Amino acid sequence: LHDLLLDELKDLYSAENQLTKALPKMAKAAASEELRTAFEDHLKETENQVNRLDRIFKELEASGKGKKCQAMAGLIEEGKEIIDEDAEDSVRDAALIAAAQKVEHYEIAGYGSARAHAELLGLDEAVKLLQETLDEEIGADTKLNGIAKEINVEAESPA
């Protein structure tokens, strides 16, 4: 189980690092200021989430390197297609939100499993740090739900 946890953490580490590069592009592509700010805020959170993982690896005396999260690479690739799409602003924003929520749900699942496995292994500090990040990811998803409510109405009949 310890090896599985390390593998999960490496996957998340790769996912978060990929996301720190993708979020600025998603922010730039967002037409809604609220959505752009949400992406920028989540970038700051994501950088802090990378730091938390660094602390966990230090505690476990392991390296975070050596694995590429293919799922996040795919999700980001889909996001890139949306950015490049020729669409109404509100429709593109609605699509960006949907893409971002897929990312959040992937992370929520990943952190949920890692947290549960760390708990079984009695790694209290890791559990605490993983829970903090899990709460942030859930918060980001909830925030996107709120923004989507307004933008999806606009996207239904773009100006």
Residues that bind Fe ion (CB under 5 A): 46, 49, 107
Task: State in angstroms the smallest separation of the CB of 153 from Fe ion.
Answer: 28
Q: Which is nearer to Fe ion, 32 or 46 (CB)?
A: 46
DSSP string for residues in the chain: -HHHHHHHHHHHHHHHHHHHHHHHHHHHH--SHHHHHHHHHHHHHHHHHHHHHHHHHHHTT--S-S---HHHHHHHHHHHHHHHS---HHHHHHHHHHHHHHHHHHHHHHHHHHHHHHHHTT-HHHHHHHHHHHHHHHHHHHHHHHHHHHHHHHHHS--
Name which of 31 and 50 has its Cβ closer to Fe ion: 50
Q: CB 59 → Fe ion: shortest distance, Å?
A: 19
Supply the minimum distance, in Å, between the C-beta of residue 86 and Fe ion.
30
Judged by beta carbon, residue 17 or residue 46, the one nearer Fe ion is: 46
CB nearer Fe ion, residue 8 or residue 107:
107
Question: Which CB atom, from 13 or from 148, has the smaller least distance to Fe ion?
Answer: 13
Q: CB of residue 139 vs Fe ion: minimum separation in angstroms?
A: 11
| Separation between Cα atoms, residue 112 and residue 107, nearest integer Å | 8
What is the smallest separation between the CB atom of 107 and Fe ion, expressed in angstroms? 5
Residue 23 in tokens: 């979020």
CB 19 within 8 A of CB 75: no
